[in-house]
């Protein structure tokens, strides 16, 4: 599938590029960022997938996190997709910040009118990531996924459901149990309908209870996060992982909030952690 290069910026010894391409799953043009480390010999290198949170596009991680220095240092391709389809002309898609545009929740919608385009799981798993693997020398045994907030939810659920693709999973301030918080109830109810059994396929805690598995997970969470108590519920993930025998490292950080200042502070730790998981 053809990609249209939107921008290319030299960054350390590699290139930070942004592309547009057509997506069948999302019914239109999707934009994503891709860091391409220097790879003169064409060696197979790891791939790190980053999923951003509510209100974001691909650009938040690309411009705010400073990840390029780490990707260059360790020789890792990094792809940062958008968070939802765009310009679908669906009534209500731009009415609220926590649903619709910029709030795709990394799921495949089953309810009209959302189901015609809001299929971010299929977009990532069947379109974008396979295209990156096809176009670049990616080590298929070294593909990690991470994300922030709604993107942390996406990293956990996709990482658990597609453990054959992702060999390592981490997250920053993830929505750990969306079926039990206002953000998740709104999104899952509208995208998937009111049958809460269907919600379990996009709830990390429920997936773990159902036997979906990663041997290790890393979660960083700010104690001063304004959404911690009402929306994020990491304690429920702790309980689910303990019962399932999954090794969860949950690090609680005093004075850190929900912002990209928090993400940037601990992102290099995640790169090191994924490298260790890849062996």
Bridge partners (DSSP) of residue 222 are: 253
For residues 207 and 192, what is the distance between their CA atoms, to the nearest angstrom? 16
Q: Is 258 among the catalytic positions?
A: yes
- Reported residue count of the chain is 279
> Could you say which of 225, 233, 270, 274 is catalytic?
225
In 3D space, the residue among 185, 212, 210 whose CA is nearest the CA of residue 199 turns out to be 185
Q: Is 225 among the catalytic positions?
A: yes
Q: Is 52 among the catalytic positions?
A: no
> Could you say which of 149, 167, 168, 170 is catalytic?
149
> Could you say which of 58, 233, 258, 274 is catalytic?
258
Residue 55: left if φ>0, alpha if ψ -120 to 50, beta else—which one? left
Residues recognised as catalytic: 149, 225, 258
């Amino acid at each position: 599938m053809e990609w249209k290069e939107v921008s290319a910026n030299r960054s350390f010894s590699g290139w930070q590029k942004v592309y547009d391409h057509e997506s069948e799953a999302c019914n239109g043009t999707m934009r994503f960022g891709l860091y391409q480390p220097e790879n003169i010999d064409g060696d197979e290198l790891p791939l790190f997938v980053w999923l951003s949170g509510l209100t974001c596009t691909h650009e938040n991680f690309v411009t705010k996190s400073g990840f390029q220095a780490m990707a260059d240092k360790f020789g890792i391709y990094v792809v940062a997709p958008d968070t939802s389809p765009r310009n679908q002309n669906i009534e209500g898609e731009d009415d609220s910040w926590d649903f619709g545009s910029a709030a795709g929740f990394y799921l495949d919608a089953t309810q009209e009118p959302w189901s015609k385009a809001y299929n971010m799981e299929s977009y990532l798993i069947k379109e974008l990531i396979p295209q990156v693997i096809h176009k670049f020398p990616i080590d298929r045994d070294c593909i990690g996924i991470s994300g922030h907030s709604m993107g942390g939810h996406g990293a956990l659920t996709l990482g658990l459901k597609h453990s054959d693709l992702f060999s390592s999973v981490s997250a920053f301030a993830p929505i750990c149990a969306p079926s039990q918080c206002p953000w998740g109830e709104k999104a899952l109810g509208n995208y998937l309908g009111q049958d809460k059994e269907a919600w379990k396929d996009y709830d990390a805690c429920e997936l773990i209870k159902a036997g979906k598995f990663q041997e290790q997970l890393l979660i960083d969470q700010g104690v001063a996060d304004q959404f911690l108590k009402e929306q994020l519920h990491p304690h429920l993930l702790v309980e689910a992982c303990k019962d399932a025998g999954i090794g969860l490292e949950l690090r609680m950080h005093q004075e850190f909030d929900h912002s990209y200042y928090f993400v940037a502070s601990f992102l290099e730790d995640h790169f090191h952690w994924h490298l260790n998981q890849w062996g």
